[in-house]
Amino acid sequence: MSVKFEISQAGFSIRLAASADAKALRMLLPEMRDGAVQFVAVDGRNKLVIGAAAVTQSHRLQPLVGPGISIRVIEPCRRQGVGRALFEQLQLAATLAGAKALFGAKRVDLDSDEMRGWEWFGFTPCETVEEHVLPITQFESRLGPLIDRMRERGRIPASARVIPLYQADLEAVLQLHLNHMGGDRGEVYRKLRGRGPGAFHSRYSHALLIDNQVKGCMLAHRSGQDTMVVDANVVEPSLRGGWANALLKLEGFRAAFVGIKWIRYTTFDHYADTLSFTEKLGGSTVRTTALMIRPLT
């Protein structure tokens, strides 16, 4: 028997999520497994969970300090103030925790319904990401000689080396990812350990070390028979625009399994070195997404 919701008459309430709400939270917010603060909306007639919202434990540092949030309301109960009420609770919790802004927990496609939903809450794009596809055949011939010349000219520190993810300090890689790309701490750590959907592959993924300190990473997985997907390519800001990205990419591509023909990866709008790299190798853009932000003032 289908459940009938009458929010306009019976109303709803917002409360902190309890252990009994675990299943509803997994269904409504699958990307927020380890939210620091979680709320649910309960309809007044059936006493069922009709919406959920959560704040990530980790905070982005740029352009303002703040957590990611996620909100979802079931279709029959939308456009009746449930989402707004959940958002106000998240906003209060984040403000009390010292946040200066709220971010969407995941990027959204430009001009999508999801993006318009964030805009309704007063969010605007703070950075865009383009996804590119390149053939793997050109990487060794293009990047190999470039890296050799940089080493000969002393532009690459003698202590710089790239190691497989399984040899790296995962906590340091995790913190680098959270500082510069955001995300949910528990979810990113799960992927770093190679567990569950979308896990980073230990052979495709690498970390850049200088003096044995993690300064960059390239995290990737295999998609289908012939495509390697680079999920994250991050280096410390002081190393951008030079040799670091090129070295990470070269070592990562050298480790690709036999049969890989295409590399799919993302480019942030402020990563000029990666944009230049894409243009030189004739890459094609297949998707553009945006990170949404709302400053707390």
Hey, where are the domains in the chain? 7-105, 128-295
pLDDT at 75: 93
Locate 171 and state its tokens: 């906590």
pLDDT at 283: 67
Q: What is the CATH number of domain 128-295?
A: 3.40.630.30
Using CA atoms, how far apart are residues 20 and 25, in angstroms rounded to an integer? 10
- CATH number 3.30.420.40 given to 7-105: no
Using CA atoms, how far apart are residues 182 and 31, in angstroms rounded to an integer? 13
What does the pLDDT profile of the chain (297 residues) look like in tens digits? 578 888 989 999 999 999 999 999 999 998 887 667 899 999 999 999 999 999 998 888 888 999 999 999 999 999 999 999 999 999 999 999 999 999 999 899 999 999 999 999 999 999 888 888 888 777 778 788 989 999 999 999 999 999 999 999 999 999 999 888 877 788 899 999 998 888 998 888 999 999 999 999 999 988 888 888 888 888 998 888 788 988 888 887 787 666 788 888 777 655 555 556 666 666 677 888 999 999 997
Using CA atoms, how far apart are residues 208 and 168, in angstroms rounded to an integer? 9
Using CA atoms, how far apart are residues 106 and 283, in angstroms rounded to an integer? 24
Nearest to 35 by CA among 58, 14, 9: 58
Using CA atoms, how far apart are residues 265 and 219, in angstroms rounded to an integer? 10
